[in-house]
Amino acid sequence: MQAFQAYQTGRYEVAAAILQPLFEEQPVFQIRPIEGSVAYWLGAAYQAQGAIEEALNTWQQGVHSALTQGAVDVLATDAYVETVFRQACSERFAEAALFYELLLRIAGTPMLPDELQRLRRHVARMIFLLPDTLQRQIWTRDRRFLPDAGMRLMQWWARQDPLPATPLNERIVEHLQRVAYAEQHYASDRTESGLDERGIVYVRLGPPSRIKKLDFYSRELQEALRRLRRSSGNALIVSESDFAPGELWLYDRSVPGGPYYFLFVYDGNMYRQGGVLDLIPPHLRVGLDGDTGRGGAKIDVLLEVLRAVYRQLAPYHLDFSDRYIRVDNYLGQLEEIRIQLERNIGGELYTQDKRSDNSALVQQEGTPFTTEGTPDVFLRSLLAETEREDALNRAEMAARIPRQQSRWLDQKPRLPVVARVARFLRSEGFTENLIYWAAPVGALLQDLEASEKPGDFLIDLQVVQQKTDYRVAYRTSQLYRIPSRLSEQGR
């Protein structure tokens, strides 16, 4: 307890000095009444002093010592995995991935509260990658692990291994790298995973092709609002702090079925997926009554705000560019009416007491109407259409976007493959298509010659048949082993 009290009060050197002799004698000794082994707390004391290598070595030894006794030191294992990937210690990735598998394997077995909490966090950072049916086989709605959860998690990760011929599951390494990055950049204390919804998407699909941080109080918007105040005495003020921060994430066609976009909006606590209307200050979205002075003022301001929003989003997706054109064209028509009125009445605009400046423009007798009606009618139509289309788009993308996307093989050289297709009409009356394929031997030999210790090749052939709407109708996988002694048999 003296060591723990020293640690709690920030005297890490004292804590390490007390724990070191006990660690050398019995690293798996559990400190009570607190949770954690000597190895865990000694490593934590080293980490707090900035001695990362000493911390990692201590946790590593503690994990191995526990394994010799048929146990898993959950806290030391968790600390090792987290620190290795947070510090990007690439030479330790392989062992950290194996330690991660140790943690998942014991899901569903009895453990102490702190141990259970750490294991839940790891699973919460991957559960969204799994099919819904498998998720229900891992834990209950109240996050209680089912008895065979560990076995099912390990089976799922084994199926994700992109290079099954190697002892390392590279997909786990990729996953833990993404988790470490998301934890550093997209953290939230409001979720069990410790990640906001940007972090969840990052773990699922990897880094986006582009991130656009949205700025809704641009120079164009400020000028438009000043013009409204000058022309109609509109006293409604919208400040930059009224706008929720937003980010648009774009994924190109490297993700199957792409491109995709995600719109994230800060709700005061964390970033969540949202729609365009979530970006609008809440006080502008209510009281849109064109027959009252304040309601008309809100309509004028909201039209300009929507144009500013869509101006930024338009370059990135047709969903936004079409709406920007519609809003911009409408406001352009109002500007033409404004200019005509100024000419007709000697430079002074006609306004009504209970209507906004723009409402007055289109209601003035003898002036042309816009093609989409008065501003309040146009705005209500646009808001309803925006909300409906955003909801439909989110639902469509949720159905199309894969649960997860590995890019591990993107960094690997592609094996050139040659193929030809032959079609036969069988005597039974049906048509048979045969695909003949081969990998040039020369491409394999280049890798063999470049390797100091050439190993056998394992070719994983994935064959997928799709329907006309690109849904998978049939899928099969075959493995082909090519021995390294191929190089001795000539080309």
Is residue 12 within 8 Å of 45, Cβ to Cβ? yes
Amino acid letter, residue 208 = P
Flag whether pLDDT at 85 surpasses 50.
yes
d(CA 36, CA 55): 15
What's the pLDDT at 219?
Answer: 78
- Give the burial class of 191: count Cβ atoms within 10 A of its Cβ; 0-12 exposed, 13-18 middle, 19 or more buried: middle
Highest mean pLDDT among 5-9, 32-36, 83-87, 472-476: 83-87
Cα diameter, the chain: 97
What's the pLDDT at 411?
Answer: 75
| Rounded percentage of the chain residues whose pLDDT exceeds 70 | 86
| Rounded percentage of the chain residues whose pLDDT exceeds 90 | 52
Mean pLDDT of the chain: 85
pLDDT-derived band at 491, boundaries 50, 70, 90: very low
The bridge status of strand 457-466 relative to strand 472-482 is antiparallel
* Closest among 193, 103, 222, 189 to 154, alpha carbons compared: 103
What's the pLDDT at 368?
Answer: 45
Residue 437's φ and ψ, nearest 5 degrees, are -135, 160
Flag whether pLDDT at 349 surpasses 60.
no
pLDDT (mean) for 377-404: 89
The bridge status of strand 271-273 relative to strand 260-266 is antiparallel
At a CB cut-off of 8 Å and minimum separation 6, what does 425 contact?
431, 432
The model's pLDDT over 28-74, given as tens digits with 9 standing for 90+, comes to: 998 877 899 999 999 999 999 999 999 999 999 999 999 999 999 99
Q: For 412-453, what is the HEC assignment? A: CCCCCCEEEEEEEECCCCCEEEEEEEECCHHHHHHHHHHCCC
The model's pLDDT over 258-276, given as tens digits with 9 standing for 90+, comes to: 788 999 999 999 999 999 9
- pTM reported for the whole predicted model: 0.81
pLDDT-derived band at 366, boundaries 50, 70, 90: very low
H-run or E-run covering 481? strand 472-482
Amino acid letter, residue 82 = E
Beta partners for residue 123, in sequence order: none
pLDDT (mean) for 318-327: 90
Residue corresponding to tokens 């705000």: 305
H-run or E-run covering 172? helix 170-185
The 10 Å Cβ neighbour count of residue 122 is 20
Range of lowest pLDDT (155-164, 196-205, 482-491): 482-491
Q: What is the DSSP letter of 76?
A: H
Six token digits for residue 385 = 């259409």
The model's pLDDT over 213-247, given as tens digits with 9 standing for 90+, comes to: 988 777 778 887 777 776 655 556 677 788 889 99
Flag whether pLDDT at 354 surpasses 60.
no
* Closest among 459, 444, 438, 452 to 489, alpha carbons compared: 444
Who has greater pLDDT, 204 or 481? 204
Is residue 3 within 8 Å of 19, Cβ to Cβ? yes
pLDDT (mean) for 424-436: 90
Give CA torsion, residues 192, 198, 202, 204, to 10 deg: 60
Q: Tell me the DSSP string of 305-319.
A: HHHHHHHHHGGG-HH
What's the pLDDT at 242?
Answer: 85
What's the pLDDT at 122?
Answer: 98
pLDDT-derived band at 448, boundaries 50, 70, 90: low
* Closest among 285, 295, 290, 287 to 362, alpha carbons compared: 290
What's the pLDDT at 375?
Answer: 85
